[in-house]
Chains A and B, each alone.
Chain A
Amino acid sequence: DIQMTQSPSTLSASVGDRVTITCRASQSISTWLAWYQQKPGKAPNLLIYKASSLESGVPSRFSGSGSGTDFTLTISSLQPDDFATYYCQQYNSYSWTFGQGTKVEIK
């Protein structure tokens, strides 16, 4: 199975900060990567697919990049609604795996 490793596990930031989360795959997954946002008690919400494609309705301050094994999710200017946990997911091959999550906290 492909292992997905996110860093950092927790990130403290302020409103207006530029935030970057990293996701590394244990083997190449081309650009078959998605990013999700999850708030406490809620289902995950798709932000990015195919590494850099923005899901409809997602604010443009979210962006994704990378290919192969290294990927990033960037929030250009952190907003109060963005404090949440973020997960990457590879869909290159069965079995489909998620990263362990990155919690973005208020500094």
Chain B
Amino acid sequence: EVQLLESGGGLVQPGGSLRLSCAASGFTFSSYAMSWVRQAPGKGLEWVSTISGSGGSTYYADSVKGRFTISRDSSKNTLYLQMNSLRAEDTAVYYCAKSTGYCSSTSCYEHYFAYWGQGTLVTVSS
């Protein structure tokens, strides 16, 4: 059974940093692209970032490019999201999601999400 468990959320001041983690189990972690998707309070879903199975290719939404870094550790079956220079508009529930497909150096294919974690809340406020 595929399981994704996020952690690391919390309250942080504007300009601060936070690192989210997602522990994965139930599948061959290194074979699948992994993503972060967020949802601001009362709002819709926003794709944030994706990393290929090998970790060699990464993709970011324009809204977080240059501030967030996605990474993965296949020895620990764990996905990460390092979030720097946080803004009030980054306040959201952050979901870890497993892609059905794969990523090349230029894009990802079959890139929809059959498995999601329960989410972790990040609040950016002074």
A35-50 interface bits toward B, Cβ cutoff 8 Å, 1 = contact, 0 = none = 0101000111110010
With an 8 Å Cβ cutoff, the count of chain B residues facing the other chain is: 23
**Is there an interface contact between A89 and B112, defined as CB atoms closer than 8 Å?**
yes
Closest B-chain residue to A101, C-beta based?
Answer: B44
A43 CA to B116 CA, complexed, in Å: 6
- Contacting A at CB under 8 A, from B1-49, are 44-47
**Is there an interface contact between B61 and A91, defined as CB atoms closer than 8 Å?**
no
Is the C-beta of A55 less than 8 angstroms from some C-beta in chain B? yes
- Please name all residues of chain A whose beta carbon is closer than 8 Å to the beta carbon of B108 when the two chains form the complex: 91, 94, 96
B107-126 interface bits toward A, Cβ cutoff 8 Å, 1 = contact, 0 = none = 11111111011110000000
Is the C-beta of B100 less than 8 angstroms from some C-beta in chain A? yes
**Is there an interface contact between A96 and B114, defined as CB atoms closer than 8 Å?**
no
Supposing A94-B107, A95-B59 touch, asked if A44 and B116 sit within 8 A by C-beta, the answer is yes
**Is there an interface contact between A100 and B114, defined as CB atoms closer than 8 Å?**
no
Is the C-beta of A62 less than 8 angstroms from some C-beta in chain B? no
Is the C-beta of A21 less than 8 angstroms from some C-beta in chain B? no
**Is there an interface contact between A55 and B117, defined as CB atoms closer than 8 Å?**
no
Interchain CB contact (< 8 A) of B47 among A49, A55, A96: A96
- Please name all residues of chain A whose beta carbon is closer than 8 Å to the beta carbon of B109 when the two chains form the complex: 91
Interchain CB contact (< 8 A) of A98 among B45, B107, B116, B118: B45
**Is there an interface contact between A44 and B113, defined as CB atoms closer than 8 Å?**
yes
Is the C-beta of B80 less than 8 angstroms from some C-beta in chain A? no
B: which residues have CB within 8 A of A? 44-47, 50, 59, 61-62, 95, 100-101, 107-114, 116-119
22 contacts between A and B (CB under 8 A): A34-B112, A36-B45, A38-B45, A42-B118, A43-B117, A43-B119, A44-B113, A45-B116, A89-B45, A89-B112, A89-B113, A91-B101, A94-B107, A94-B108, A95-B47, A95-B59, A95-B61, A96-B50, A98-B46, A98-B47, A101-B44, A101-B45
A: which residues have CB within 8 A of B? 1, 34, 36, 38, 42-46, 49, 55, 87, 89, 91, 93-101
